[in-house]
Amino acid sequence: MGIAPSYDLAVVRLLSRPQQLVPIPIGESANLRVGQSVFAIGNPFGLSKTLTSGLVSALGRTLPVDNGREIPNMIQTDAAINPGNSGGPLLDSAGRLIGVNTAILSSSGTSAGVGFAIPVDLVNQVIPQLIEKGQLPRPGIGIAFAQELVGQRMGIRGILILGVEPGSPAERAGLRAFDFERQIVGDVIIAVNQKPVADGAGLLIELEKVGVGGKVTLVVMRGESTREVVVEVIDLNQ
């Protein structure tokens, strides 16, 4: 039915519904608190119907995914999550879905007590679009940007533009990329809609809030000068 690789989510359609299949109660993730009990269900290492328990360790984490994007507001839990848990539910103490298990942070590839789940409030935003359209729009303005560490090494706080797509809204707005070989100074985005940004993830979050077809106001620095530009947000999947 639809996939959203950037959110590690997909929708499948059952041709027939088993009689014993019962929908899971849907909870909320906006009101979660650090320290509350949670339960993870999955098939770690192929061991089906495994239940592990733990706590909400932290909230509001960001998880890097493909295309330089990040999933915001992730739930961090110490409930044991291992390969095979991805896609399984994270439940609260009342058995309600509050997240979808997706990743672990581990040097060994197995549980180290740092697991992550996509919050159910985000799932509820993504799934209807997948059912309707089969994919999610990828809001963008047509730029490639450097990792935050590059700017830090240069003593710059903001988003360094490394590429501008020909014919894109960014090019039409006059944005220019850095060219270190030719010693051409490019633009650094330091704010989006009056909100300071330090990395590409902050920019992408604001673009997704505005949505395809909307416009964002960027504060851009080139050398010592600063200016504002208005840029249209497009769907990079088109």
Contact 90, 117 (CB under 8 A): yes
Q: How far is CA 127 from CA 97, 114, 137, 142, in A?
A: 14, 26, 12, 26
207 vs 200 pLDDT, higher one: 207
What's the mean pLDDT in 129-145?
88
Residues 12 and 105 both lie in one domain: yes
Question: pLDDT at residue 68 above 80?
Answer: no
Q: Domain containing 87 — which CATH number?
A: 2.40.10.10
Q: Lowest-confidence range among 15-19, 51-55, 107-111, 126-130?
A: 107-111
% of the chain at pLDDT higher than 70: 95
Residues 94 and 181 occupy one common structural domain: no
Boundary (domain end) residue, out of 103, 118, 133: 133
pTM over 0.75: no
Same domain, yes or no: 94 and 171: no
Cα distances (angstroms) measured from residue 196 to each of 64, 217, 219, 225, 233 = 20, 12, 9, 17, 18
What is the domain extent for residue 208?
A: 139-235
Residues 203 and 102 in one domain: no
- The two three-digit tokens of residue 187, written as one number: 């633009």
109 and 95, same structural domain? Answer: yes
Q: State both tokens at 231.
A: 């840029």
In the chain, the amino acid numbered 192 is: V
User: 56 and 156 share a domain?
Assistant: no
Same domain, 128 and 147: no
Q: Are 140 and 29 in contact (CB under 8 A)?
A: no
pLDDT the model gives residue 24: 93
Reference 117, options 61, 201, 68; nearest CA is 61
Residue 83 CB partners (closer than 8 Å, separation 6+): 44, 45, 109, 110
Q: Mark whether 28 and 114 lie in a shared domain.
A: yes
Residue ending a domain, choose from 133, 164, 182: 133
Mean pLDDT across the stretch 36-48?
Answer: 93
Can you read off the two tokens belonging to residue 16?
A: 């027939």
pLDDT digits (tens, 9 = 90+) for 151-200: 788 888 899 999 999 999 999 999 999 998 888 889 999 999 999 998 88
- Cβ-based neighbours of 94, under 8 Å, separated by 6 or more: 25, 27
Average pLDDT over residues 53-70: 81
Q: How many domains does the chain have?
A: 2
Domain CATH number, residue 196: 2.30.42.10
End residue of a domain, out of 133, 152, 179: 133
